[in-house]
Structure 1
């Protein structure tokens, strides 16, 4: 199973937000930002922080893709 954060990047673009702005607003470390950039799994706490910033659900920011 893999995750994709394309929806997060689209929401950020719609809100004219840079990745550095997101990291600051959500208090994300550089390590966590790297994981997001590489479509790696991040903690539920991180996802909830992002949802709070954008006033949305987790599914609005990421998708889970099942590998065959």
Structure 2
């Protein structure tokens, strides 16, 4: 399985933010953003900081993609 941070990059675009804005707002390092840009694993603390800074959930910033497939796992609809 692979991790994709495409939802995060889309969220930044929607909020008219740049990666450097995310770094300043969340307090994460440039190296963490670079790792995410390459689809590498990052510490859950980094993901938590991003979610807090952007007021969103983990599914809003990342998705799991099964091996041999380009489609992410779908998350079940949550009842509100």
TM-score normalised by the chain length of structure 1: 0.91
What is the aligned length?
A: 68
Aligned-residue offset at 1:27: 1.2
Moved over 3 A (4+): none
* Structure of higher CA gyration radius: 2
TM-score normalised by the chain length of structure 2: 0.78
1:27 partnered with 2:27: yes
Give the CA RMSD over aligned residues: 1.0
- The 3-state SS of whatever aligns with 1:33 is helix
Q: Which runs of 5+ in 1 are unaligned?
A: none
Using CA pairs under 8 Å that are at least 6 residues apart, name the structure with larger relative contact order, 1 or 2. Answer: 1
